[in-house]
Structure 1
Amino acid sequence: MIKAAPLPVGGIPLLLFASGLIGIMGVWYLSKLAGIPVEWIFVIIWVFSNGVGVGLDGNELILFYGFWAIKQRIPLDSVEELSILSRLDRGSITGHFKAYAFTWLVVVLWASVDLFVLDWGGNPLRPYMDVFVMATFTLFFLSLTLPKTEKGILRVVAFGCAAFLVVFPLFKWGSKTLVPGMFFVLLIAFMVKVFKKDDLILIVADGKSYLLSSNDGEKSSERSGRPWKMLRLPEGMERVWLMKARGMREVEIADALGISRQAVNKALKDARVKLFEAFFGLAEVFSWEVVRVNAEKGFMVARGKCLDRNVRIYAFYFPGKGIKAFFGGEFPGYVLEHAVEMGITRKPDSDELIKALES
């Protein structure tokens, strides 16, 4: 098993997560309508959406959910991109997982309506539950939508949420809420600490996005010790990869080269595997920390040291030449033209290229 846990951001896990979490928030009203307690149904649904581990089975990465009852399989040779969002300057989750982030927002809005409009539905426990949900889930939502580097904004919001958790109940119901309020404040502090510590790892495979959470990020980026050597893709494989990177579809590539679509698909998978190995191997040789690798477009973002100062490293695969790395954000003209040719940016501009690489 790998020291990571998948988040329910797509497929059946997302369906279970959204229906369970939203159902838990509205279950008081559903129970009143049904005449019987139905809370346990939504709790079970939500529990089965939670990720429990990640494992390797041959050439597949397996994501486990709900006590290992639900599995998502990712063929390793189908992986197009791997990004550690906590190390990206503009890394956020919303761009890839809108439905997941929207679920948290819906719960926050529902709690607000329940507290201020529906008058708690007559349940004396609802008001405090609503306050707790509004405060804590707002943090969850912002942690998904803000870049991981914007820790200052999150701390300010966390302070505001903690104050709301203590002051609003204290003003509304008196001093009896002070002790549980302080407990919830400690919970918020723990959430912010975990947010700062854990790595969020984005995996894109065959056009689908997956998200893992790991507090073992430094160790997880260690390689197996295989020596790195300067890579150049075989000519035929490189031609197929380059045509795909420039925006052609597999069937168009097959027609243009006079080969089968299966041959194109295999060449692309092999090329991605080789590029991943080359970029990670290069990072290992120079002791760089990998931030992002995109084998579809052939680039890597990493961080390391140069003359005793921390620098950003941007490496690109150039057809016919191999990998070249650049420090900081100064790119020669041919790199900017290469970025436009590969579809990374729309115009040859350094700022636009850095924004694209770090997003």
Structure 2
Amino acid sequence: MLDEQELRALVPAVIGVLVRRGADFASAEDAVQDALVSALASWPDDPPRDPRGWLTTVAWRSFLDAVRSASARRRREDSVSREPEPGPVAARDDSLDLYLLCAHPDLSPSSAVALTLRAVGGLTTRQIAEAYMVPEATMAQRISRAKKTVAGLRLGGASDLSTVLRVLYLVFNEGYGGDVDLEAEAIRLARMLATLTDEPEVAGLLALMLLHHARRASRTGAGGQLIPLHGQDRSRWDTALIAEGVDILQTALARDRLGEYQAQAAIAALHADAPSAAETDWVQIVEWYDELVALTDSPVARLNRAVAVGQADGAPAGFAALDGLDPSLPRHTAVRAHLTEMAGDLDGAADLYVAAATAASSAAERDHLVREAARVRSLSSGC
């Protein structure tokens, strides 16, 4: 039977073959999409013996047909038509270079995400549009502009692996939309990337994704309400994914080349390892946040560190860690509300939860903070 994910996993390598044979990136990507459509129609019960070779041959013919049908490209037709009909596909794999091209620094984050999902992930424009809840025409324009931006660039250009990792993490954090599970798709692409390079940060990102994905079933309630980490039913966590994530992380950490995704994964692993919220090793988590802040100097990491410090050393220490951070930082007021509740000022905490709700970036977060305010007010009135 046809495995669509296995089929889409061949896309970046086949695009690379066409580009090396003389096709420009945009035309190669279009041709491979045409070949995918043909494969989905003809492979279901009888896939070819050499799927990659089949896709390459069909995509190359599609590319040549497109060139021959465009009179404005007649000179280009003359050059490519002299190339021999492709035989066996060479063993070389340009997939890593394609990841880098799709995350080129000249692309906006949204364009890099869209181009990665189409050219590396093999998703259709419709699937990507539905996943991001935008009209298909809008997504088609975004992808077209992205292709024009990287037109003429060679594989293996100016991008670097850290940019690719940021793009994949953006995909992961979108969650689910349409008929595409973007968390699962990001994990699939990160797994592919991990087979192409032994960089510890690639493994760190994959581990981080697996550890977060393991908690997916417990992150929302029956009505879609947000459930914070301390309130999640840990019996619903996927222990196999957690074990895999921890194993991948430990292998990466043994390389002694720490990066931000490894540090984030270590924090996630400590949360996953705790039998209950009360048994969380907050002291170690603070130590890992110290590493993360040293690596990134990220205000978001500092904000999360303040929460961990509060849990490890008490509310006054948490407030001290919060000092100096910009109050307009997203979730700053929510963190202050949490620490204020820990300090025993329930009325003040309720007011802060309400203020945080008004500044929330999503309806789910706003509703959660409103519920927190109501919970704390009920505690205050019961005192």
Name the TM-score, length of structure 1 as normaliser: 0.28
Instruction: Kindly indicate which of the two structures has a greater share of residues assigned to helix.
Output: 2
Instruction: Kindly indicate which of the two structures has a greater share of residues assigned to strand.
Output: 1
Flag the structure with more relative contact order, 1 or 2, with Cα contacts below 8 A and sequence separation at least 6: 1
Name the TM-score, length of structure 2 as normaliser: 0.27
